[in-house]
């Protein structure tokens, strides 16, 4: 990662935010935190982040609602759902909405680094892809 990479940590538990922040401080990137979904979206409005580590259960907007908004407004941002209440249904929904990954708590420091780094790598590769040629009339990809 580089100093230009931006990661947003979103969790209503201050201890969890602090833990993730400390884990990521050893890598070269800009990190910010938010305590709830509304704060996360306000922060994204100011300057979108490359990677968002997003808690699933929070007061107010839950993680899936925030994920939906992020992927609509900032589709190039990679979102990792991190939850203490994993279910197959919520994992499927998160992936359907565009989450890069779905991780069950507790997560260790190296897990936080690995998932953030993998999401950043995916974003960087996505930005390097050459857009496919499309048929302007139908919108379909040209063969």
Task: Give the pLDDT of residue 142.
Answer: 32
112 occurs within a structural domain: yes
* Segment-wise mean pLDDT, segments of 10 residues, the chain, 143 residues: 83 97 88 97 96 96 97 97 97 97 96 95 75 42 32
120 occurs within a structural domain: yes
pTM score, whole prediction: 0.85
1 occurs within a structural domain: no
133 occurs within a structural domain: no
Task: Give the pLDDT of residue 2.
Answer: 57
Task: Give the pLDDT of residue 141.
Answer: 33
135 occurs within a structural domain: no
What's the Rg (C-alpha) of the chain?
A: 16
Q: What CATH number corresponds to the domain at position 108?
A: 3.40.50.2300
């Amino acid at each position: 990662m580089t100093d230009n990479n931006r990661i947003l940590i979103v969790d209503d538990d201050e201890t969890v935010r602090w833990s993730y922040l400390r884990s990521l401080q050893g890598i070269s990137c800009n990190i910010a935190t938010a305590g709830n979904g509304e704060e996360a979206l306000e922060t994204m409005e100011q300057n979108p982040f490359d990677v968002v580590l997003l808690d699933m259960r929070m007061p107010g907007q839950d993680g899936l609602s925030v994920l939906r908004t992020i992927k609509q407004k900032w589709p190039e941002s990679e979102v990792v759902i991190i939850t203490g209440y994993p279910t197959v249904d919520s994992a499927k929904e998160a992936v359907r909405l565009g989450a890069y990954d779905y991780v069950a708590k507790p997560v260790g420091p190296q897990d936080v680094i690995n998932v953030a780094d993998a999401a950043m790598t995916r974003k960087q590769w996505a930005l390097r892809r050459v857009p496919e040629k499309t048929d302007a009339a139908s919108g379909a990809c040209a063969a």
